[in-house]
Amino acid sequence: MKRSIRLLFVLSVIIILLITAASCTASAQEIKVGVLLPLTGKLSRVGGIERDSFVMATEEINNADGIHGRKIELIIKDTASKPENARLALNKLITEDKIIVVGGGCSSPATYEAAALAHKKKIPFLINTASADKITEEGWKYVFRLNPPVSEYPKTLTAFLKNVARVRTTAILYEDSFFGRFALKKFLRVCKTSGFKIVMRRGYAANRVDFKPLLIRLVKKKPDFVYLVTHAADTAMIMQQAKELNFSPKLFVWHAPGLTTPESYRYAGEASAYLFSQGLWSPDLPYPGAGNYYDKFFEIFGSPPDYHGAQAYAAMNVIADALKRSKSLTPKDVRAALANTDMMTVFGPVKFISYGKKAQQNMLSTLLLQRLQGNFKVVWPKNIAKEKYVFPVPGWEERH
């Protein structure tokens, strides 16, 4: 009998030790988070910046004790901006890698396809870049979006033009390319809804050097403001030649490629002082860590991040916050934690709400920037602008 009792005791100790070891192993297991990005194809540059930002944020989170002592394992899949690739990549992340949440999403068509699958498979998907309105208009319970939808991009600029500049007429110069025609189409809608009268609309062939004939026509039309859908080198030439002609409307507004990337700004030229432009993010914004993120990224990778990087970095921190607050590390509970997000990031405040047709959409203001002291500064909206806008814009003879 005593031998049986001793045997049972030994077996009990062994079982307890095995359970403890299994528990320790489980606690040490990494939490698998998937990311969908275009690492090849037409958006590979954007995908690279976002990948680096996701990795940088994950390393910081893991170095700061991770998720209650457990590390995050980031599993990044390439979509090449193709819908079918995005669907297949997400399916592998779910079935093979056993992720519990996914982030990323750049190309809207590819992201839409992945979002539909995430909803079907009940895997929370935090989108940080894809901007097509319909992505958060389908009522998909497991789909969230951090960045503004494309329909909201013009709101800040339009409010400034109507309420501060009080303009009525505009002229549009645009590069006759896919980039130019696409942006033109969207701005024509803005003009229609805002009541701006278009006094001239002219496209031009890429690589044009002499803009003076077009500008001379603009002088005769006397527009309140000129809207430029142009690349950086063209913008610099247009502004320089406008100066030579002493053509000075109330303001110039530049629709830069990619909504104001650092590369676009670098070549704007001295004649571009007081030029306005739209944007989504700047390291000058009064958000905790915005400047530090920019500086650290530049130090590590040798090039400045743009708003895409800030979106990705913020998204990873939002995911980590949800993982920390989740009742359990299951997709269902992580989804519930994401739905209750209310935090500040380098990209701005994040809180997922429903409005209009949108559901689980973060609401953020787009930005109006102005070239002041050689750099583009956030000047509108007032509540987040660090610099006061200059308007009316001084004439050429008044500038120093």
In a domain, 211, yes or no: yes
How many CB atoms lie under 10 A from the CB of residue 19?
Answer: 10
Whether 13 is in a domain gets the answer no
pLDDT of residue 398: 86
Please give the pLDDT value at position 270: 78
The whole-number average pLDDT for the span 310-332 is 98
**Half-sphere exposure of 197 toward its Cβ, with a 13 Å CA cutoff?**
9
190/338 same-domain check = no
Q: Give domain status of residue 269, yes or no.
A: yes
Average pLDDT over residues 307-325: 98
% of the chain exceeding 70 in pLDDT = 90
Rg (CA), the chain: 26
Q: Within a domain: residue 3?
A: no
Residues in the chain: 400
- Residue 227, pLDDT score: 97
275 and 376, same domain (yes or no): yes
- Predicted local distance difference test score (pLDDT) of residue 30: 96
Based on the domain organization, do 98 and 41 belong to the same domain?
A: yes
Cβ contact 147:105 at 8 Å: no
* Same-domain pairing of 186 and 264: yes
Shared-domain flag, residues 382 and 260: yes
Are both 258 and 380 inside the same structural domain?
yes
Q: Residue 6's pLDDT is what?
A: 52
Indicate if 46 and 142 belong to the same structural domain: yes
Please enumerate in sequence order all residues whose Cβ is within 8 A of that of 359, keeping only pairs 6 or more positions apart, or say none.
136, 137, 139, 140
Largest CA distance in the chain: 111
* Mean pLDDT over the full length of the chain: 91
pLDDT in tens, 46-58: 999 999 999 999 9
Q: What is the pLDDT of residue 211?
A: 96
pLDDT, residue 267, reads 60
Q: Mean pLDDT across the stretch 205-231?
A: 93
Cα–Cα distances (Å) from 61 to 65, 312, 320, in that order, read 7, 14, 8
How many other C-beta atoms are found inside a 10 Å radius of the C-beta of residue 98? Answer: 10
Average confidence (pLDDT) over 14-21: 44
Confidence of residue 256 (pLDDT cuts 50, 70, 90): confident
CA angle in degrees (0–180, nearest 5) for 348-57-297: 85
Q: Does residue 129 lie within any of the structural domains?
A: yes
35 and 98 belong to one structural domain: yes
Q: What angle do CA 344, 345, 347 make, to 5 degrees?
A: 125
Please give the backbone phi and psi of residue 370, each rounded to the nearest 5 degrees, phi first: -140, 145
CATH of the domain at 313: 3.40.50.2300
Given a contact cutoff of 8 angstroms between Cβ atoms, the answer to whether 235 and 272 are in contact is: yes
Segments forming the whole domain that contains residue 238: 154-279+366-398
Does the pLDDT of residue 200 top 50, yes or no? Answer: yes
- For residue 131, being part of any structural domain is answered with yes
d(CA 219, CA 396): 14
- Say which residue, 383 or 25, is predicted with more confidence: 383
Shared-domain flag, residues 357 and 320: yes
The residue-averaged pLDDT of 5-19 equals 46
The sign of the torsion formed by the CA atoms of 336, 342, 347, 353 equals positive
Q: Are 259 and 328 in a shared domain? A: no
In a domain, 375, yes or no: yes
Name the pLDDT band for 28 (thresholds 50, 70, 90): low
- Stretch among 19-23, 41-45, 141-145, 279-283 having the lowest mean pLDDT: 19-23
Lowest-pLDDT choice from 95-104, 148-157, 253-262, 288-297: 253-262
What phi and psi, each to the nearest 5 degrees, are found at residue 349? -65, 145
Do 37 and 166 belong to one domain? no
User: Quick one: average pLDDT of 4-17?
Assistant: 46
Clarify whether residues 168 and 74 are in a common domain: no
pLDDT at 233: 85
Number of domains comprising the chain: 2
Q: Which residue has the higher pLDDT, 77 or 263?
A: 77
Average pLDDT value for residue range 104-121: 97
pLDDT band at 24 (very low <50, low <70, confident <90, very high): very low
Residue corresponding to tokens 């800030």: 310
Mean pLDDT confidence for 157-167 = 95
Closest CA to 258 of 316, 202, 197, 311: 311
- Answer yes or no: is 2 within a domain: no
Residue 10, pLDDT score: 41
